[in-house]
Structure 1
Amino acid sequence: MKISDGGEKFIDLPLLTHTKRKMEVNEQGLLVFKASGWNKFEVQYPDEPKYSITGADSQVVTVQLAGSEQVYSEPGTMMYMSTYVKSDTECGGCLNRCCSGESCCTMIMTNTQEELGFVGLTPNFPAKVIPVDLSTINENHLHCKAGAYMAHYGEVEIETNLECNPCKACCGGGGFIQQGLVGTGTVFLNSTGTIMQKVLEEGEKIVVDTDCVLAWAEGVDMEIQSAGGCCGMALGGEGLFNTVFKGPGLVMVSSMTKEKYQIAVAPEPK
């Protein structure tokens, strides 16, 4: 039914009712999501942002550099830069980077003039860019899945963490050698799929699929548990173990890792 608003326009009441109902259903769905304690990762820019992220996927991060400022990145990520921004290569800490799934070298892009310069960076595979301010993380230390690092600016050191427990290393989703990012600067991780995050309270536990692990803060304990009984482990599709995180601290997971994506798009054997 349509009614006139006093002029030539008409209002379709069934359409409005349908839209209102749809909004109510969406709000109920959001309530379920909020009750889980998880949040979809959304970029939270600081009051004076130094970077901007563009695109829905295969994203581009543009970093603003003042005079003499630098941005560091893994090789192959530079998409564009100002003419007075000069790039160089650093090979210090090569062993740490190679063991943590990164290239042997790091690209350093420096603004050589006083006016603002810009550098555009993009992941080396179809992925989203995830900025993390390390000054907001427990002990300024973030553990990452090997290969998650893309770039950073400010005070950041890339370390390697050796997992000596073979069960946790093989089945926990982090591997024997994990990536450690320490400092007060901002790091840019890259990962595919939808990124979710949750801040665990003291003693709070959460169970996640081992393939979905992306990053976790210092102070968060990682353990493993069986994915079920014999039938569940063999036929449940979750593997033999799941990862258990115990708080306090931040945990980040992704719905589609690089490895899962590569398997999904790989040609079927003939």
Structure 2
Amino acid sequence: MVSGDNPIKSETMAAIYYSGPNRQQLTAEESELAGLIASGAVSGETLVWKEGMADWQPLRVVRPDLAGAGAARVGPPPLRATGAAHEIDYELFGSEMQIVEIELDPGETVIAEAGSMNYMDSEIRFETKMGDGSSPTNNFWDKMKQVGKRALTGESLFMTHFTNHGTGKKRVAFAAPYPGKIIPLELREWGGEIICQKDSFLCAAMGTKLGIAFAQRLGTGLFGGEGFVLQKINGEGRAFIHAGGHVMKKELKGETLIVDTGCLVAFTKGIEYNIQRAGNLKSMVFGGEGLFVATLRGHGTVLLQSLPFSRLADRVLANSAGSAKNDQGSLIGGLGNLFGD
């Protein structure tokens, strides 16, 4: 029997202490550990202590014979509710060129954009599938609709599903495609939905649904370039998006925010999003801010990035070796090119 009221047992009972909910100190006989593991009350990571130990340690260290994955489990693991997101853990590495390492329990799956995987444990297997897998009962035509939506966002038509087929916790890592930040999102804390730039999604827990959203004004949207077609992420689990440069968080309480279409990363529901012309004709042609800007108004959260990939790519192309010879540089720059050849 487990007891939280009697912290002292006779020596003949071989008492062992373990950490319960809210770090409560509980105690049981060592012979009862198998039953506690089977019921889910303790796991290999539960901190335990018994006489002769200097400090608390995980059960898997103290009793490796019991803390093995599922050795004492009776029957299959509990079923998740249909559409429920897998509960994945993660760790971020780096500052400006980040990697997110996802920790998967046996049977858990993370979905990701094709080509974003950096490394993974050998027991993790990946499979390319149509759609995000959030609705297992979808038929062929439902999956084709998802593929069509992804085609509109410019992403790969397929997604990669990474599943832990091992017996313990395993890890798989994903990297952003350009310098910036990886942003972890607890979707349930964001109202279960967030809308982001079409190329910002990186990976998410299985059960997360990916869709598309459009700017309200189709006419201006067709000429707006970035920002017309957006990606919608729905669910209750964890998702990860990436942004270029530094990330700014803005809280709107009825105000209107005007943003370069490329600098917008994501926003919550409750924000009205649209695209409008960037001033008069003179400003549009000579202002250097593009033809259109995004407007956001309402109540909610907006995430912005300091370095959109399109802006970075434009600078790289403008200063590439081929362009450098033909650009209108300074006299000193021209002399440098002359003597450098």
Give the TM interval when normalised to the shorter protein.
Answer: 0.7 to 0.9
SS in 1 for 2:220: helix
Q: Would you say 1:86 and 2:125 are equivalent positions?
A: yes
Indicate how the Cα distance of structure 1 residues 72 and 227 shifts in structure 2: closer, same or farther if over 3 A, else same.
same
Indicate how the Cα distance of structure 1 residues 108 and 189 shifts in structure 2: closer, same or farther if over 3 A, else same.
same
Tell me the amino acid that sits aligned with residue 145 of structure 1. Q
Which consecutive residues of structure 2, in runs of 5 or more, have no partner in the other structure? 1-86, 132-145, 327-341
* Matched-pair contact (CA < 8 Å) for 2:88–2:104: no
Indicate how the Cα distance of structure 1 residues 78 and 87 shifts in structure 2: closer, same or farther if over 3 A, else same.
same
CA distance in 2, matches of 1:255, 1:246: 20
Tell me the amino acid that sits aligned with residue 147 of structure 1. D
**Among 238, 242, 264, the residue aligned to 1:190:** 242
CA distance in 2, matches of 1:233, 1:137: 35
Aligned twin of 2:112: 73
**Among 200, 218, 223, the residue aligned to 1:148:** 200
Aligned twin of 1:7: none
CA distance in 2, matches of 1:173, 1:127: 18
Matches within 5 A, 1:257-268: 257-266=308-317, 267=320
Whose Rg is larger? 2
Aligned twin of 1:174: 227
The sequence identity of aligned pairs, in percent, is 28
SS in 1 for 2:148: helix
Indicate how the Cα distance of structure 1 residues 221 and 173 shifts in structure 2: closer, same or farther if over 3 A, else same.
farther
* Matched-pair contact (CA < 8 Å) for 1:67–1:113: yes
Tell me the amino acid that sits aligned with residue 146 of structure 1. K
Matches within 5 A, 1:198-213: 198-201=250-253, 203-213=254-264
Tell me the amino acid that sits aligned with residue 109 of structure 2. Q
Aligned twin of 1:61: 100
CA distance in 2, matches of 1:185, 1:145: 19
Aligned twin of 1:120: 173
Give the C-alpha shift of residue 259 in structure 1.
Answer: 0.8
**Among 174, 179, 188, the residue aligned to 1:135:** 188
Aligned twin of 2:55: none
1:74-96 Cα offsets, whole Å, 9 max, x none, are 11111111111111111233222
Tell me the amino acid that sits aligned with residue 153 of structure 2. S
**Among 297, 310, 324, the residue aligned to 1:246:** 297
Size of the aligned set, in residue pairs, is 220
* Matched-pair contact (CA < 8 Å) for 1:154–1:186: no
Q: Would you say 1:158 and 2:197 are equivalent positions?
A: no
Deviates most, 119-128 or 246-255: 119-128
CA distance in 1, matches of 2:301, 2:295: 13
1:21-40 Cα offsets, whole Å, 9 max, x none, are xxxxxxxxxxxxxxxxxxxx
Tell me the amino acid that sits aligned with residue 242 of structure 1. V
Deviates most, 120-129 or 83-92: 120-129
CA distance in 2, matches of 1:87, 1:223: 38
Give the C-alpha shift of residue 67 in structure 1.
Answer: 1.1
**Among 207, 216, 233, the residue aligned to 2:267:** 216
SS in 2 for 1:155: coil
SS in 2 for 1:204: strand
SS in 2 for 1:57: coil
CA distance in 1, matches of 2:185, 2:211: 16
RMSD (CA atoms): 2.1
Indicate how the Cα distance of structure 1 residues 91 and 225 shifts in structure 2: closer, same or farther if over 3 A, else same.
closer
Matches within 5 A, 1:226-241: 226-241=277-292
SS in 2 for 1:189: strand
Give the C-alpha shift of residue 171 in structure 1.
Answer: 3.1
Q: Would you say 1:256 and 2:307 are equivalent positions?
A: yes
Give the C-alpha shift of residue 181 in structure 1.
Answer: 0.6
